[in-house]
A and B are shown apart, each in its own frame.
Chain A
Amino acid sequence: MLAKRIIPCLDVTNGRVVKGVNFVELQDAGDPVEIARRYNEAGADELTFLDITASSDNRDLILHIIEAVASEVFIPLTVGGGVRAVADVQRLLNAGADKVSINTSAVTNPQLVKDASDRYGSQCIVVAIDAKRVGDHWEVFTHGGRTATGLDAIEWAKKMEGLGAGELLLTSMDRDGTKSGFDLELTRAISDAVDIPIIASGGVGTLQHLVDGVREGRADAVLAASIFHFGEYGIEEAKKYMKQHGIEVRL
């Protein structure tokens, strides 16, 4: 049976992982390659790198990171952040990324999603949707939740599926950083609206939140950062907990 996936997300800036990663005896807490190797050994199903590098001068550092990680970590790698053109997608795939995540540029230029998926296949195009509750619905935001787009998140998800997205990374901006759990209503509404897999993100504080994301939110995968980075929980511990609650996982 297909397993639900657990995906740790690493924020990278100027070639370094910025959030603390609390593995025992980590030689270099900011080294993306060492951290990727540890997560791989710990049983992560995939890894996502989010490049938050502000300066365009250092944007290519992520390519070196992906090249190095892809040479020794043999699980799927997704990279997002600053993807604006088909050429960006190509550079990341050539460096060894398996999937590329498109966020703001999907809003400013939806044709990018179509062009990239036509060229490289839907399987490697993830569209990241940052959604926030506004009145009785959810609206898509960009630029890290600062810019409202006026787009309805459910309609947007369907449109992205139609343009060739192979997967959606859905982040609740209301929940992100709160540790109060996923926005389950949002996750379920989007998951029910499309046929492609949904990665739930934003708000994980406990292992029960991961279970709820899959069971109540109907997510196909769960993405989390801080609960793993700061050593509150391990990947294997999370998977065992999910399994105890009747969720199929890879152990």
Chain B
Amino acid sequence: MSVDIAVIDYGMGNLRSVSKAIEHVAPAASVVVTSDPKVIAEAGRVVFPGQGAAPDCLREIDARGLRQVIIDAAHSKPFLGICMGMQVLFEHSEEGDTPCLGILPGTVQRFPHEAMHDIKGDKLKVPHMGWNNVHQAMPHPLWVGIEEGERFYFVHSYFVQPTTPDVIAGFSHYPFPFTCAVASGNIFAVQFHPEKSQNAGLTLLGNFVTWNPGGADSACDMSGATCA
């Protein structure tokens, strides 16, 4: 029997939080943490988390033969990328000069040392770690019930720079604006950790498990109308 939600396990860090948070918002769904391409291919929805460094992530994805099934899932079913799982969707990461999956156009760059000061001139630390405001750049079914400017938990040293601005679904400031959420078709991906962002994060995950990208809410997304 196919599972409702597959959380892709490619050996990069703690997936327990992600699966527990999804089980919390979708108690009736079958949620599995898996590295089996067949299970991922047959799942109704896919969550692609990830921590650690980009070169290791790509290496582990390929070591498990998961590259194609990730690309296929990103094109065919509700797909949620989280943190490193967002970054590697793009074409290239500055981290270890790593070619990535190339599903979305753009690159991944490090917070530049020379820019890391606030308006008072105080040093800003990298990694960007903690709760920051997320500004919604477009209406989207995954933002429903989440206030504009709500805080989410971040921990990262690199950020994505999409070459097509129309995929930017959300941004944050550190100290300059950077993209922290992207949306394209059935892909939604976030730099922050919804599984660690208390109620706002659970709301986003709850929206994901009921999201129907091919359905009416997606049409409403295209029209730019509010999807309440």
Output the nearest chain A residue to B52 by Cβ-Cβ distance: A121
For residues 176 through 192 of chain B, which have their beta carbon under 8 Å from a beta carbon of chain A?
A: none
**A120 touching B51 by the CB < 8 A rule?**
yes
Interface residue count on the B side (C-beta < 8 Å): 40
B196 near A197 with CB under 8 A, answer no
* Chain A 113-127 residues near chain B, CB threshold 8 A: 120-124
User: Does any Cβ of A come within 8 Å of B210's Cβ?
Assistant: no
Interface string of A205-221 (1 = CB under 8 A from B): 00000000000001011
A96 in contact with B13 (CB, 8 Å):
no
Bound Cα distance A67, B197 (Å): 18
Q: Please, how many angstroms separate the alpha-carbon atoms of A121 and B129 in the complex?
A: 14
Q: Write out the residue numbers on chain A whose beta carbons fall within 8 Å of the beta carbon of B125.
A: 195-198, 220
Tell yes or no: B133 within 8 A of A by CB.
yes
A2 near B174 with CB under 8 A, answer: yes
Complex Cα spacing A45 to B113, Å: 26
Which of B51, B132, B197 touches A123 (beta carbons < 8 Å)?
B51
B131 and A93 contacting across the interface, CB-CB below 8 Å = no
In B150-172, which residues have CB < 8 Å from any A CB?
151, 153-157
Let me know if B145 is at the binding interface, CB within 8 A. no
Contact in complex: A123, B202 (CB < 8 Å):
no
Which of B12, B16, B151, B196 lies in contact with A3, CB distance below 8 A? B151
Pick the contact of A250 from B12, B126, B151 — CB < 8 Å? B151
Would A40 and B198 count as touching, CB distance under 8 A? yes
Distance in Å: Cβ of B149 to nearest Cβ of chain A: 10
Smallest CB gap from B196: residue in A: A76
| Residue numbers in A under 8 Å from B130 (CB-CB) | 2-5, 45, 197, 220-221
Could you jot down 20 A-B contacts, CB within 8 Å?
A1-B133, A2-B130, A2-B132, A2-B154, A3-B131, A3-B151, A74-B17, A74-B20, A74-B21, A75-B153, A120-B51, A121-B13, A121-B51, A121-B52, A122-B127, A123-B129, A123-B156, A167-B127, A167-B129, A197-B129
Binding site for B on A (CB under 8 A): 1-5, 40, 45, 67, 70-72, 74-76, 93-98, 120-124, 166-167, 192, 195-198, 218, 220-221, 250
18 new A-B pairs (CB below 8 Å) besides A40-B198, A98-B196, A121-B51? A70-B16, A72-B24, A74-B24, A74-B195, A75-B153, A76-B153, A96-B16, A120-B51, A121-B12, A121-B13, A122-B127, A123-B129, A123-B155, A196-B126, A197-B129, A197-B130, A218-B123, A220-B130
